[in-house]
Amino acid sequence: MTGRSVPEWQGKTPDTPVPPRVRDRVFTTKDGRCHKCSREIAANRGETWTCEHMIALANGGENRESNLDVTCSWCLPAKNAEDVAEKSMVYRKRTKARGIKGRRRTIPGRRFDGTPIPAKWVD
Ligand SMILES: [Zn+2]
């Protein structure tokens, strides 16, 4: 990096959008490479990319520069899916730790405990 260092950007609220100058800074710091596939993003040829929160806000990540990274358009759907999966895993662990039981869904099928299958389920 050249020039003087600037203080880290931090969103005033989790909803504060990342300003263009910070996006530009993140892109520079990361050498314009996607954090997932480390491919160089051809932004100069119109390739789209996003400035993503490494730890999603939904998963308790902070809206600040150090939690931002570059994600290319190929990897974004995968990143979002991981965030959602992480969120539901965290939720499951938390509710379990707090003694909140989720609804147990039993799958109707053949019973192995000797209980006869109700007549309405048999052809
Ligand atoms: Zn990528």
Q: What are the residue boundaries of the structural domains of the chain, listed by start?
A: 11-89
- Between CA 100 and CA 116 the distance in angstroms is 32
Distance from C-alpha of 90 to C-alpha of 122, rounded to nearest angstrom: 40
Nearest residue to 87 via CA among 62, 63, 64, 55: 55
pTM above 0.85, yes or no: no
pLDDT band, residue 119 (cuts 50/70/90):
confident
CA of 20 to the centre of ligand 1 (A): 20
**What does the pLDDT look like over 13-56, one tens digit per residue?**
999 999 999 999 999 999 999 999 999 999 899 999 999 999 99
C-alpha 85 – ligand 1 centre gap (Å): 19
- For ligand 1, the distance from its centroid to the CA atom of residue 58, given in whole angstroms, is 21
From CA 75, how far away is CA 39, in angstroms rounded?
10
Ligand 1 centroid from CA 53, angstroms: 14
- What is the topology classification, in CATH, of domain 11-89? DNA Binding (I), subunit A (1.10.30)
CA nearest neighbour of 63 among 101, 96, 14, 24: 14
